[in-house]
Amino acid sequence: MSTTSDLRTKSAPPKRSFELSMLLYDQRYRSITIQVFFLFLLMLFAAWLVDNTVNNLRALGRDFSFAFLNAPAGYDISQRPIEYNSQMTHGRAALVGLLNTLILAVMACALATVLGVIAGVLRLSNNWIVGRLMTVYVEVFRNIPTLLWILIFGAIMTEAMPAPSAFRGDDPSSTMLFNDAVAITNRGVWVPAIMFARDLGYFQLGPVAPSITWVLAILIIAASIWANKKLIDHATRVQNATGVRPKTWWKSILILLGPIALYFAVLGAHLQYPELRGFNFQDGIHLRNSLIAMWLGLGIYTGAFVAENVRSGILAISKGQTEAAFALGLQPGKTMRLVILPQALRVIIPPLISQYLNITKNTSLGLAVGYMDLRSTLGGITINQTGRELEGMLLMMLIYLAISLAISGAMNVYNSRVKLKER
């Protein structure tokens, strides 16, 4: 006892007064020193950049302003999801471009997901030939640049498809697909459009004018999905309380399809088929070659990456999980739905969303086939016409950044929701 008490310090360690060398050799202060030094360098660098920019702008006799967005654009855009003509402003053109970017991104994401899930699952199948075929798909598409794929699909559309005139005459060399519904030509693809006998018109929402008919349709579908979820929750509660799960499938079908079918019937929905008139097809929806090439190029290319994510997600679930589920007496279908998928999705979804992010950024390759996305409108023609590279590029980068941050924010929310609750 006495020795330990001797070793114990009788007072606090002697306080050293602060010395300048402690800034470097004392762990407590060193990080502050480094950071201050770093901050100093960074500020110096930023000041140098800003000073150069100001000087350069002054030398060129330019100011820094976004007023050009209100000037008339003077160029046409082939694919217009909202009303636009060349008399409208550069800002409006940029908005059209942004909408085109988003349309393409959503379409390509859907295609990539469908293809990726199918290819990823089939690559694991016992079927030798299917497995090999999917491996070839994944390896070939993953190892060749997207840009090349986009150009290849663009060339297939413009070079290998029949001209509209080939559909003419009594014995045409090409025919429309699906009972005269879809025409694939070298000027684009025509598909039927849904038209309404009693259209509800448009309403003005800031710069865009959405169709009331379609907004209502989307709201009805969303409400149906919500009601269906309530129904299933209720069935689960009943099952938990009584042990018997009430039959829900016909109620689900009724809730999901009934309201929207009724709505379409009331408004007199019908399909408007494309028709060959003059030198080209008319009516229906015209999907331009540029859109098709971008859609196929991005979708199939990214699908190969998604396939790998899906495959690794499924492989990540140990075999013991399946065996445990079988031991509990679950059927194979239920094993997949209740045990394997929820765990595999946790592995699959984060990389899947980063693939969505890649698709969104890769839409900026639209210029290669003349797709008028944000890069081609705001970052292309607008910049060339107004000479406002600095402002235009800055704005464009900020928009892309906002989209990316929104997507990755959604991913973080999802991740924190499905994260394993560990001790």
Partner 1 sequence: MSNIESHTIAYVRDTMIPEQDPPITETGAIKWLRENLFSGWFNTILTLLSLAIIWWSVAAIGPWLWNMVWNAGSLRECRELLDGAQGACFAVINDRWHQLLFGFYPSSLYWRPTLALILLFVALAPILFPDLPRKMLWFSAVYPFLTYHLLWGGSVWLPIVALLGFVAGYVAWRLVTRISPLAAVFAAVIVPVLWWIVVAAPLDRFLFSGLPWGLEFVRSDRFGGFLISLVIGITGIAISLPLGILLALGRQSDMVFLKSVCVIFIEFIRGVPLITLLFTASLLLNYFLPPGTSFDLILRVIIMVTLFAAAYMAEVIRGGLAALPRGQYEAADALGLDYWKAQRLIIMPQALKISIPGIVNTFIGLFKDTTLVVFIGLLDPIGLSNAIRASTDWQGIYWELFIFIGVLFFVFCFGISRYSMYLERRLKTDHK
**One of 23, 102, 103, 152 touching partner 1 (CB under 8 A):** 152
| Continuous segment of H or E residues that includes residue 282 | strand 280-282
By CB under 8 A, residue 173 contacts partner 1:
no
Q: Which stretch, 72-80, 198-206, 260-268, 399-407, contacts partner 1 (CB under 8 A)?
A: 399-407
379 to each of 26, 66, 271, how far by Cα in Å? Answer: 51, 14, 37
Cα(243)–Cα(249) distance, integer angstroms = 18
| Residue (27 or 204) nearer to partner 1, CB | 27
Cα(30)–Cα(77) distance, integer angstroms = 58
Binding mask 85-124 for partner 1 (x = CB under 8 A): -------------------------------------x--
Strand partners, 286: 190
By CB under 8 A, residue 133 contacts partner 1:
yes
By CB under 8 A, residue 362 contacts partner 1:
yes
**One of 365, 369, 372, 381 touching partner 1 (CB under 8 A):** 365
| Residue (254 or 390) nearer to partner 1, CB | 390
**One of 57, 82, 106, 200 touching partner 1 (CB under 8 A):** 57
Instruction: Please give the full DSSP string across 208-260, using - where no structure is assigned.
Output: B--BHHHHHHHHHHHHHHHHHHHHHHHHHHHHHHHS-PPP-HHHHHHHHHHHH
- How wide is the angle at C-alpha 294 spanned by C-alphas 289 and 300, nearest 5°? 120
Helix, coil or strand: residue 381: helix
| Residue (38 or 226) nearer to partner 1, CB | 38
By CB under 8 A, residue 225 contacts partner 1:
no
- Phi-psi category of 89—alpha, beta or left, where left has phi over 0 and alpha has psi -120 to 50? beta
Q: Amino acid identity, residue 263?
A: Y
Which residues contact partner 1 by CB under 8 A?
24, 31, 34-35, 38-39, 42, 49, 52-53, 55-57, 59, 122, 125-130, 133, 139-140, 142-148, 151-152, 155, 159, 361-362, 364-365, 367-368, 375, 379, 383, 389-390, 393, 396-397, 400-401, 404-405
